[in-house]
Structure 1
Amino acid sequence: MKMVFRYFGLGNDTVSLEQIRQIPGVEGIVWALHDIPAGEEWPMDKIEEIKSQADQAGLHLDVVESVNIHDDIKLGLPSRDFYIENYKKTIAKLAEVGVKVICYNFMPIFDWLRTDLFKQNPDGSTSLFYEKARIEGMDPFDLVDQINQDATLTMPGWEPERLAHLTELFEAYRNTTEEDLWDHLSYFLQEIIPVAEAYDIQMAIHPDDPPWSVFGLPRIITSQSNIRRLLSLYDSPANSITLCSGSLGANPANDIVSIIHEFKGRIPFAHIRNVKVYDNGDFIETSHRTIDGTVDITGIVQAYHETGFTGYARPDHGRQIWNEQCRPGYGLYDRALGIMYLWGLWDAYARVQETHSSKKEVSKV
């Protein structure tokens, strides 16, 4: 397991590269050019600028999250070919600086949804929170206004250029079904995966967050069976998944441990985080500790260890603790604590395995 840490860039992150490199076991950053609108070709000079910063800090930039998909691709419009060509050119440029994994998603309009960025916990920390009944009765434009008011930094997946065209986007997706979205994803993969193969890059799709339809929009990367269908669309190691335990774990019916075992070898990138799911469908993001949430983080790390996982992993959303002023979900302190918890589990399983192997050798003698 290679530990990495998400980084939003100079001037766009409260966490510095110097702080990241002091977290034990962290080898690289998970990055993107957040100021480049979806569909545009990434400029090489900006890519090299991030590489220079990472090199100076002694960190690699093997994982990009995300190269966003233009909505014309998701909608299957004739103009999608233009944006797909830009995507191919971006893949080639990223390969030049050593990128191995590109995380992306295929969610219409919203990359993720929460109703509260700062839900207070009993201990005084705050977390991202999803109130199901509120979403079901809410106007999406009201939610956007609230997020814009609450966020002090640009939130990934809520880019201003996208939110400025919400009315047009909702109208465009009005008659789009899940099967339509599957067809458009298949078209994208048929075009992109051969290019990714040529550059030895794995395209790792992120599950939908949350893993169900919201505001009437179709969502398809939501379950184990749907991941199976995704991987069958183009049978290649370059067509893979970013396994996010928190996104899929918001639906307790998703067995993350089973997913890891079934799709081993097709998971180059893991987001490991916990959520507490309530009986009414609400969920809140907790510490990474297993007992604090609903997701079996202990079993998940064990499953990665048992399947010989050698991919990249990062702690995902954390709470805001110790009065840290940061992008919601992306502070330094709780994510660093999460890393140490994940390493503790990983090292414990490694010790158990070593002890078991030693006893087997002794018994042979």
Structure 2
Amino acid sequence: MKMVFRWFGEGNDSVKLNHIKHIPGVEGIVWALHDIPAGEEWPKEQIEAVKSQADRHGFHIDVVESVNVHEDIKLGLPTRDLYIENYKKTIENLAAAGVKVICYNFMPVFDWTRTELFKQLEDGSTAMFYEKAKVENMDPLELVDKIGNNSNFTMPGWEPERLKSLRELFDRYSWVTTEDLWDNLKYFLEQVIPIAEQNDIKMAIHPDDPPWPIFGLPRLLISKENIRRFLKLVDNPANGLTLCSGSLGANPDNNIPEIIREFADRIPFAHIRNLKVYENGDFIETSHRAEDGTVDICNIVKAYHESGFTGYVRPDHGRHIWDEQCRPGYGLYDRALGIMYLWGIWDSLVNGNRQKDSIKSQDESIKFFQKGVI
């Protein structure tokens, strides 16, 4: 596996590239042009500027996260064709700079949902938290009003203009069914996957977070069955999955190792993170260590190893530890700890196979020697 690290750019991230360089085994940064509104073409000169920054520290820019899909595409509006054309041009521009994987999602309105960004854990660290009952009993338009009355309200990873248009988006999605969303996703894929294939890029959709409908909005990438349906919409190796153990793992019914083994050849990019799911459906993000949460990180890494996985992996959301002031979920310290935990599992599997091969070789030598003596 190829280890990478998400970075939000100079002036937009408390984490520095020279600090990421200190983490063993990190080959590249996972990046984006966060100032480009969804639907617009990414300029070549800005892409090259990020590449130059990465080059100076010996990192590649093989993986982009996210080239956001404009809401008109998800809604199936007539204007979608314009935004799809811009998306195609962006794919070509990224390929010219050496990009190999584009991570994106097709979640209506909200990329992800949490009710608290800095919930305290028992050890004193904080992490992002989801209170299921609060979301189920919340009127989303109250959230719209809260945002509208607070000019300082932000959501990490969101474009500011999207926050300003939430009320309009909810109105538009009121007539979009789950099947409509599937149809609109297929339309998008039929347009962009051939371009991605021509440019040797893998499109890797991110599962919905959390993996169930919220605020009456449909969700698609929520289960093994739905992933299987997605991959068949356009059955092409360029049409793949960003397997996020945390997003799918919020539903304990999702068997992540099983999903990995079934779709391994369609997973060019993986997010590995842990979380603890409570009986009432709440969940909180934890350290990457398997024992600290509900997601079986050890068997997840084992499933990748046994599948011969050679794609890109990054540690996903971390806790906020050691008084680090950082973007929610994206500090340096806990994600660095997560990387070392993942490498520890991976290296033990690699070394275990070497020992088995060595023992097998010794056994064959003994049999050969005995045969010669006899």
Task: Return the TM-score normalized by structure 2.
Answer: 0.95
d(CA) in 1 for partners of 2:151, 2:17: 26
Secondary structure at 1:323 match in 2? coil
- 2: CA distance, partners of 1:346 / 1:147: 47
SS in 2 for 1:196: helix
Structure 2: how far apart are the matches of 1:237 and 1:23? 32
Change (3 A) 1:147 1:63: farther
Q: Which amino acid aligns with 2:176?
A: T
What is residue 87 of structure 1 aligned with on the other side?
Answer: 87
Q: Report the counterpart of residue 370 of structure 2 in structure 1.
A: none
* Alignment of structure 1 residues 110-125 onto 2, 5 Å: 110-125=110-125
Aligned equivalents of 2:90, 2:348: Cα separation in 1: 40
The answer to whether the 8 A contact 2:147-2:153 is kept is: no
Give the letter for the 1:243 counterpart. Answer: L
For the residue of structure 2 that corresponds to 1:103, the secondary structure is strand
Identify the residue that residue 311 of structure 1 maps to in structure 2.
Answer: 311
**1:357 aligns to what?**
357
**Equivalent residue number for residue 155 of structure 1:** 156
- Are 1:75 and 2:75 matched, yes or no? yes
Q: Deviations over 1:127-176 (max 9, x none)?
A: 000000000111224446479979897511x3210010011100010011
Which amino acid in structure 2 is aligned with residue 155 of structure 1? P
| Cα distance between partner residues in 1 of 2:115 and 2:195 | 38
Q: Is the CA contact 2:74–2:108 (under 8 Å) kept in the aligned structure 1?
A: yes
Contact 1:115 1:143 in 2 (8 A): no
Amino acid of the structure 2 residue aligned with 1:237: P
Cross-structure match for 1:221:
221
Deviation of 1:122 (Å): 1.3
Match in the other structure for 1:230: 230
Q: What letter corresponds to residue 94 of structure 2 in structure 1?
A: L
The one-letter amino acid paired with 1:93 is N
Structure 2 residue matching 1:265: 3-state secondary structure: helix
For 2:156, give the aligned amino acid: M
Which letter does structure 2 place at the counterpart of 1:231? L
| Residue identity matched to 1:178 | T
Quick one: structure 1 residues 286 and 143, their matched pair in 2 at CA, closer, same or farther if it must change by over 3 Å? farther
Amino acid at match of 1:136: E
Return the alpha-carbon distance in structure 1 between the equivalents of residues 298 and 142 of structure 2. 38
AA of the residue aligned to 1:276: K
Structure 1 gap segments, 5+ residues each: none
Q: Tell me the distance in 1 between the aligned counterparts of 2:147 and 2:251.
A: 25
2:17 alignment counterpart: 17
Structure-2 residue corresponding to 1:329: 329
Kept in 1, the 8 Å contact 2:148–2:164? The answer is no
> Does the alignment pair 1:197 with 2:188?
no
- Structure 1 counterpart of 2:311, which letter? G
Contact 1:113 1:130 in 2 (8 A): yes
Larger Rg: 2
Instruction: Tell me if 1:291 matches 2:295.
Output: no
Change (3 A) 1:360 1:192: same
CA 1:280–1:301: 2 relative to 1, 3 Å: same
Partner of 2:52: 52
TM-score (norm 1): 0.97
Cα distance per residue 1:235-292 (max 9 Å; x no partner):
1110000000000000000000000100011000000000100000000000000000
2:371 aligns with none
Structure 2 CA distance, aligned partners of 1:241 and 1:249?
Answer: 15
Separation in 1, partners of 2:274, 2:151: 23
Code of the residue aligned with 1:289 in structure 2: it is R
**Cα distance in 2, alignment partners of residues 223 and 235 from structure 1:** 18
Task: Work out the number of aligned pairs and report it.
Answer: 364
Gaps of 5+ in 2: 366-374
Q: Is the 8 A contact 1:273 1:315 kept in 2?
A: yes
Q: 1 CA distance for matches of 2:150 and 2:270?
A: 31
1:108 has 2:104 as partner: no
Q: What is aligned with 1:211?
A: 211
The aligned counterpart of 1:338 is 338
2:3 corresponds to which residue? 3
Query: 1:273-323: CA deviations, max 9, x gaps?
Result: 001000000000000000000000000001111111100000000000000
**In 1, Cα distance between the equivalents of 2:299 and 2:160?**
38
Match for 1:96: what amino acid?
A
CA–CA distance in structure 1, aligned partners of residues 33 and 252 of structure 2: 33
The 3 A distance-change label for structure 1 pair 150 and 214 is farther
Q: Return the alpha-carbon distance in structure 2 between the equivalents of residues 325 and 30 of structure 1.
A: 21
The residue type paired with residue 356 of structure 1 is K
